[in-house]
């Protein structure tokens, strides 16, 4: 007995959540659900096109940039670069009231640009920042919450793997997407810093700047270990935006230079640490590619059962204000982000949402930033909340309730950020237009 597209969609989504609830890897859950849907649509003959459909989903030269940017992040994350960055900022902000928490959030923002990974940012900066803040008497919720929130910037501040995935899924310019994330990323960083300072004062914490003093020479001495990485990031983005190279070529050059700097600066001349960097890169890259290939098969199954077309027609037929439509989309993204990783959500939803966004008069690059902020919120909200688990592992002495309570205000700040971007979309669109011209 054939089912209607609505019934088929409900059945497939239900099966997907059941498989995810068992703890099955996301790629396998998507793939098995897709196979079940295709069997419903086309019968046993579907096995003839499974491999072709999955490989076609990742047979794109632009995907080469993903493992290259992952390699950049793995090379930095495997070294004391996070410690050096943290120490450099601490020395320069040491005499500023609240300079330590500002150093943590600032280090998260910069390290996020160096790695593009939220969990890696939390781990690298949190390992030094959280114990030091607790040692100096900062409230535990401030220490952990600021790191949780600062780590989320990894998927917004360029280079960002999620932006690359969105660009490929929607066939939009990756360079323009990177630029669109710069100003919102800085805006959120400033909002996080302002709240952290206010939260400290609200909890009657007295900023004490009578601790260690650093001479100007000591401050300058902290820069040589940080500057090369910043130059590489700026250089990679310049090559990309200057039209010198494609995103894949720029990512390859950036990965090569980062690996060379890491090996020379931290004397990684033994095979083992280099092997670990490439092993980490391989694991994460394969995981991302598997999710993308399975998501392509899942999207094909939804299309074969006319679920995608039915949902798109239903949304297009809604006679509601476009901002009501955007609110519903944001609600969908928020809920999805609480259960699924950003890459999985983007490859499944972006192709469906993109034409709706464009036909409703929204800028697709602005929407990419809004989508990414929604994904950031998912990183610090239960039940998955990956950053929460990373920070709890770093600071086991801090109760989980305090880690969560310290992160909740930053969720509100990110929601405020979405509202601000809705009122002033130029925050996301001005820089891409200025650098690369109008669409």
Per-residue pLDDT, 247 = 76
Q: Tokens for 412, please give them.
A: 């509100």
User: How does pLDDT run across 328-359, given as a tens digit for each residue?
Assistant: 889 888 888 887 778 888 887 888 888 889 88
CA distance 139 to 355: 46
CA distance 436 to 439: 9
Q: Of all residues in the chain, what percent carry a pLDDT higher than 90?
A: 16
User: How does pLDDT run across 1-25, given as a tens digit for each residue?
Assistant: 466 777 777 888 888 888 877 878 8
Average pLDDT, stretch 53-78? 80
User: How does pLDDT run across 249-299, given as a tens digit for each residue?
Assistant: 888 888 888 888 888 888 888 888 899 989 988 988 888 888 878 877 887
Closest to 150 (Cα-Cα) out of 348, 394, 397, 339: 394
Confirm whether 45 is domain-assigned. Answer: no
Confirm whether 251 is domain-assigned. Answer: yes
Residue 129 contacts residue 174 (beta carbons within 8 Å): no
User: Domain tally for the chain?
Assistant: 1
Query: Which three-class secondary structure state does DSSP give residue 230?
Result: helix
Confirm whether 356 is domain-assigned. Answer: yes
Cα-Cα-Cα-Cα torsion 81, 83, 85, 87, nearest 10 degrees, comes to -150
Confirm whether 413 is domain-assigned. Answer: yes
Q: Which helix (H) or strand (E) holds 224?
A: none
Confirm whether 424 is domain-assigned. Answer: yes
Confirm whether 285 is domain-assigned. Answer: no
Average pLDDT, stretch 80-104? 79
> Distance between alpha carbon 8 and the CA centroid of its chain, in Å?
32
Confirm whether 297 is domain-assigned. Answer: no
User: How does pLDDT run across 167-176, given as a tens digit for each residue?
Assistant: 988 889 888 9
In the chain, how long is the greatest CA-to-CA distance?
79
CA distance 333 to 344: 12
Confirm whether 104 is domain-assigned. Answer: yes
User: How does pLDDT run across 125-138, given as a tens digit for each residue?
Assistant: 888 888 888 888 88
Number of CB atoms found within 10 A of residue 190's CB: 12
Q: Tokens for 275, please give them.
A: 């092997």
Rg of the chain, C-alpha, whole Å: 22
User: How does pLDDT run across 369-414, given as a tens digit for each residue?
Assistant: 999 999 999 888 877 777 888 888 888 888 888 888 899 999 999 9
- Tell me how far CA of residue 239 lies from CA of 114, 168, 235, 315, 395, in angstroms: 16, 19, 6, 40, 40
Closest to 129 (Cα-Cα) out of 386, 395, 380, 379: 395
Closest to 377 (Cα-Cα) out of 411, 412, 339: 411
* pLDDT band at residue 212 using 50, 70 and 90 as cut-offs: low
Average pLDDT, stretch 160-189? 89
Per-residue pLDDT, 180 = 94
CA distance 240 to 174: 9
pTM for this entry: 0.83
* pLDDT band at residue 151 using 50, 70 and 90 as cut-offs: confident
CA distance 285 to 114: 17
Range of the domain at 146: 61-269+306-436
CA distance 243 to 235: 12
Q: Which helix (H) or strand (E) holds 249?
A: helix 247-265
Closest to 163 (Cα-Cα) out of 370, 418, 321: 370
């Amino acid at each position: 007995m054939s089912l209607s597209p609505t019934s088929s969609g409900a059945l497939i989504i239900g099966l997907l959540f059941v498989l995810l609830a068992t703890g099955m890897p996301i790629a396998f859950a998507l793939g098995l659900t897709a196979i079940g849907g295709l069997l419903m649509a086309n019968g046993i003959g579907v096995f003839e096109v499974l491999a072709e459909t999955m490989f076609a989903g990742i047979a794109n030269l632009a995907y080469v940039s993903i493992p290259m940017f992952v390699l950049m992040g793995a090379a930095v994350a495997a070294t004391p670069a996070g410690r050096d960055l943290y120490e450099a900022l601490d020395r320069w902000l040491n005499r500023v009231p609240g300079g330590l928490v500002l150093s943590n959030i600032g280090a998260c923002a910069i390290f996020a640009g160096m790695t593009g990974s939220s969990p890696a940012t939390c781990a690298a900066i949190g390992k030094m920042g959280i114990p030091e803040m607790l040692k100096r008497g900062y409230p535990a919720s401030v220490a952990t919450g600021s790191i949780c929130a600062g780590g989320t910037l990894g998927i917004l501040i360029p280079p960002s793997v999620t932006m690359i995935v969105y660009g490929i899924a929607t066939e939009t310019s990756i360079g323009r997407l990177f630029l669109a994330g710069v100003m919102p990323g800085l805006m959120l960083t400033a909002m996080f810093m302002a709240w952290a300072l206010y939260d400290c004062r609200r909890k009657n914490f007295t900023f004490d700047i009578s601790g260690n003093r650093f001479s100007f020479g000591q401050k300058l001495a902290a820069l040589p270990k940080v500057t090369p990485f910043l130059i590489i990031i700026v250089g990679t983005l310049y090559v990309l935006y200057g039209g010198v190279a494609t995103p894949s070529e720029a990512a390859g050059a950036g990965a090569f230079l980062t690996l060379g700097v890491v090996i020379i600066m931290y004397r990684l001349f033994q095979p083992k640490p280099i092997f670990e960097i490439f092993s980490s890169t391989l694991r994460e890259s394969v995981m991302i590619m598997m999710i993308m290939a399975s998501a392509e098969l899942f999207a094909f199954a939804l299309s074969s059962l006319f679920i995608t077309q039915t949902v798109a027609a239903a949304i297009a037929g809604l006679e509601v204000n476009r901002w009501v439509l955007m609110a519903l989309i944001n609600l969908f993204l928020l809920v999805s982000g609480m259960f699924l990783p950003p890459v999985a959500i983007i490859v499944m939803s972006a192709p469906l949402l993109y034409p709706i966004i464009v036909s409703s008069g929204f800028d697709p690059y602005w929407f990419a930033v809004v989508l990414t902020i929604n994904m950031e919120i998912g990183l610090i909200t239960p039940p998955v909340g990956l950053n929460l688990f990373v920070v709890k592992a770093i600071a086991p002495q801090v109760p989980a309730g305090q880690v969560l309570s310290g992160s909740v205000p930053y969720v509100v700040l990110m929601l405020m950020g979405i509202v601000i971007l809705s009122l002033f979309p130029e925050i996301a669109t001005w820089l891409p237009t200025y650098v690369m011209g109008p669409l």
